[in-house]
Amino acid sequence: MLSKRRLLVVDDEPDIARYIGQVAEGLGYETRVTTDAGTFKESFNGFEPDVIILDVVMPEIDGIELVKFLATQECGARILVISGYAQRYLDNTKALGEAFGLNSVTAMSKPIELPKLEEFLNAA
């Protein structure tokens, strides 16, 4: 039997994080959802996600720092960076992720459209 794909989500807005997790579970993912960077880092190490969705702008630590963390961990997961702020935040984070050697970094603006989220998750 094939194992489930694993998704790790971090967004400081709990409703958005839960929404993404629920969509992914509906597509057959095993999910872990968190709203803070510390829990995200702990979950990453034990969970070994295939896909990561992370908010770029958060209070404690921003998505750029998490992208750097993922690069130091030699993360091979597909990554989706999301933000409700200016497009430049997404563009910069995506470019940095690629410069750090991360496998596949995609950017998407909030609010996330369901068809686009499903398309991203189904491509994994």
pLDDT digits (tens, 9 = 90+) for 40-87: 999 999 999 999 999 999 988 888 899 999 999 999 999 999 999 989
**Mean of the per-residue pLDDT values for the chain?**
94
Q: In this structure, which topology does domain 6-122 adopt according to CATH?
A: Rossmann fold (3.40.50)
Query: Is residue 92 within 8 Å of 81, Cβ to Cβ?
Result: no
CB count within 10 Å of CB 105 equals: 21
Please report the pLDDT score of residue 2 as a whole number. Answer: 57
Q: Where are the domains of the chain?
A: 6-122
Please report the pLDDT score of residue 86 as a whole number. Answer: 87
Asked if residue 124 has pLDDT above 80, the reply is: no
Q: pLDDT tens digits for 19-43?
A: 999 999 999 999 999 999 999 999 9
